[in-house]
Copies of this chain bind each other. A is one copy, B any other.
Amino acid sequence: MKNKSIYDIAIVGATGAVGQKIMDVLEKRNFPIGSIKLLSSKNSAGKKINFFNEEIIVEEATPESFTNVDIAFFSAGGSVSEALVPAAIEKGAVVIDNTSAYRMDANVPLVVPEVNETDIKNHKGLIANPNCSTIQMVTALKPIQKAYGLNRIIVSTYQAVSGSGKKAVDELDKQTRNYVNKEETKPEVLPVAGDKRHYPIAFNALPQIDVFQENGYTAEEMKMINETKKIMHLPDVKVAATCVRLPFFTSHAESIYIEIDKENINPTDIWKVLESQEGVVLEDDIQTQTYPTPLSAMDKDEVFVGRVRKDLDCDKGFHMWVVSDNLLKGAALNTVQIAESLIKNKWL
C-alpha cells in the first residue's frame, strides 16, 4: 500500500456494544480516518450514528461494502466474520477481527501489541483480536515471562456480564430492579443466550461462560488456554482456566497463579517488571488496602495488577489479581491498537 496519512475504514457490527466502543476509541485516540463506513445486519441498517461530529447512516454489510476500504474492523459475531471476512480481504482491506472465528487459524496472527506486536507483520489480510479474558492476562504476564520465564498458569476468572453482550447487561439490570421492586422474572439470557438452560445472574455466580466442550471445559476456558499459548509463543506452557460470570456490568477480574522459571524471585521483583510494562498499572499496597476492582478499572485503558504475593509452598509460585475493562483493552482498544501498529510500522 502506498504511504497514506489518512485511512478509509469500515466497522462491521457498528450498532453493537463493541462496535460502539471501537468508535469511541477511534475518536478518543484521534485515529487518522479518511472515510468511514458503518456496517451492520439488514435489521440495523438505516440507523444514524454520530461519529467525529458527523451523522453517519448505518449500511447493510455485503461483500461489496469493502471496496476502497483500508482497514475493516469486524465485531458482529463469528458467523458474520466467516461470511464476510474473505470478501473484505479480497477487496483489499486489512481485516481486524474481534470474533473467535479465525483466532486459532495458524495463518492468522493473534495479537496483543504489548505481547507479540511483530506477529502483525506476517498477516495475509487478517489479524485476529483475542478473547477479552485472555488479553488482560497475557498483557500482565508477558513482562514476568520475559524476565523470569513462565511454566504454568492457573486462572479463575470473575467476569462482567457485558462480555456476553447487551442482552446480558439488560438482564442483570432487570433482575436487579426485580429484587428492589420485589418482582420476579424468568432468566432468559445468561449464562449463554443460545444454550438450553438459564440461571439468574443477579446475586449469583455462574460457572459457565460460553458453551461446554466435550472435555468438560467451556469454550471460554479453552480460549484462554489455547490463545495464551499462541499469543505468548509458548506452546508448552501449562494453562488451566475456570471462567465464572458474575453480577457486575464492566471489567473482568482474574485470580492468577503462575510458576516461573527462576528461583529466589520476590514480589518486589515482580512489581518492578510489571511497572516497566507499557499498558500495565501496578495497584498493590496492602498498607493502604490498594488493589484494583472491576469498578475502579472501568473506562480505563490499562491492565491493573494487585495482590502480588509469593506462594507459601512453592518458591517459583506467585499469585496475583488482574483487572481490566473488558470492552476496552479486552476488546475495542486492543483492536484499535492493532490498527495503529499496522500504520506506524507500515505493515498495512
Give A contacts to B, CB under 8 Å: 152, 154, 156, 158, 176-177, 179-181, 191, 195-197, 199-200, 203-208, 212, 215-217, 225, 238-240, 242, 244, 246-249, 253, 255, 257, 267, 286-289, 291, 293-296, 306-314, 317, 319, 321
Beta-carbon nearest neighbor of A253 in chain B: B205
A266 to chain B, nearest CB (A): 11
The count of identical subunits is: 2
Q: Given A225-B312, A248-B204, A317-B240: A257 and B288 within 8 A (CB)?
A: no
Q: With A191-B289, A225-B312, A255-B242 in contact, is A306–B207 under 8 Å at CB?
A: yes
Minimal Cβ-Cβ distance residue in B for A208: B289
A191 surroundings in chain B (CB, below 8 A) = 289
Q: Which residues of B have CB within 8 Å of A317?
A: 240
A246 with B205: CB separation less than 8 A: yes
Contact of A240 among B177, B242, B319 (CB under 8 A): B319
Apart from A208-B291, A225-B312, A240-B317, what are 10 other A-B pairs with CB-CB below 8 Å?
Answer: A176-B176, A199-B293, A200-B295, A205-B246, A208-B289, A215-B309, A216-B286, A216-B309, A240-B312, A244-B253
A286 touches B212 (CB 8 A): yes
In the complex, which residues of chain B have a beta carbon less than 8 angstroms from the beta carbon of A216?
267, 286, 307-310
Supposing A158-B205, A313-B238, A317-B240 touch, asked if A289 and B253 sit within 8 A by C-beta, the answer is no
A-B contact pairs, 21 of them (CB 8 A): A158-B246, A176-B179, A177-B180, A191-B289, A197-B288, A197-B289, A203-B247, A203-B295, A204-B248, A207-B253, A208-B289, A212-B289, A216-B309, A225-B312, A238-B311, A238-B313, A239-B312, A240-B257, A244-B255, A246-B247, A247-B247
